[in-house]
């Protein structure tokens, strides 16, 4: 087994009495809240699709094995790629969830992704967003 190297930026800032260590994730310019789960899943689907296209992995079955998920679950994730490009973009740039539940869930998107007509998808997406 080979070793692993982890790299992290650390910023040092001089204080009046001592030096403080400020980690990149601790600075005030980091937005509050968390990235919505569906945004992370959308990004994952795009990345996994690129791995298949680049020939890094053979197919979705191999991805499922490597990711320790069922083929059905991987299919659910990859089906997000059937969404209209502007919906995918909206998902990637959803505002951070500051507290409580995410405004949009993957489960709510599944019926939209199942529709092949992007115009109908966009109408359904707008209706879903009005309800949030």
pLDDT digits (tens, 9 = 90+) for 89-126: 999 999 999 999 999 999 999 999 999 999 999 999 99
The whole-number pLDDT of residue 32 equals 82
As a whole number, mean pLDDT of residues 10-25 equals 54
Q: Where are the domains of the chain?
A: 37-131
The whole-number pLDDT of residue 130 equals 86
Nearest to 34 by CA among 94, 111, 122: 94
Do 45 and 78 meet the contact criterion of CB atoms below 8 Å apart? yes
Please report, to the nearest 10 degrees, the dihedral formed by the alpha carbons of residues 118, 48, 23, 37 taken in order: 50
As a whole number, mean pLDDT of residues 16-33 equals 59
R_g over Cα of the chain:
20
The whole-number pLDDT of residue 1 equals 46
């Amino acid at each position: 087994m080979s070793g692993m190297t982890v790299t992290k930026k650390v910023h040092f800032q001089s204080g009046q009495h001592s030096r403080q260590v400020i980690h990149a994730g601790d600075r005030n310019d980091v937005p509050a809240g968390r990235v919505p789960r569906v945004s992370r899943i959308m990004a994952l689907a795009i990345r996994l699709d690129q791995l298949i296209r680049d020939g890094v992995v053979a197919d979705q079955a191999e991805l499922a094995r490597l990711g320790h998920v069922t083929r059905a679950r991987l299919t659910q994730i990859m089906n997000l790629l059937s969404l209209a490009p502007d919906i995918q973009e909206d998902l990637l740039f959803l505002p951070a969830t500051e507290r409580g539940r995410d405004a949009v869930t993957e489960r709510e998107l599944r019926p939209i992704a199942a529709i092949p007509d992007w115009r109908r998808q966009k109408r359904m997406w707008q209706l879903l967003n009005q309800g949030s």
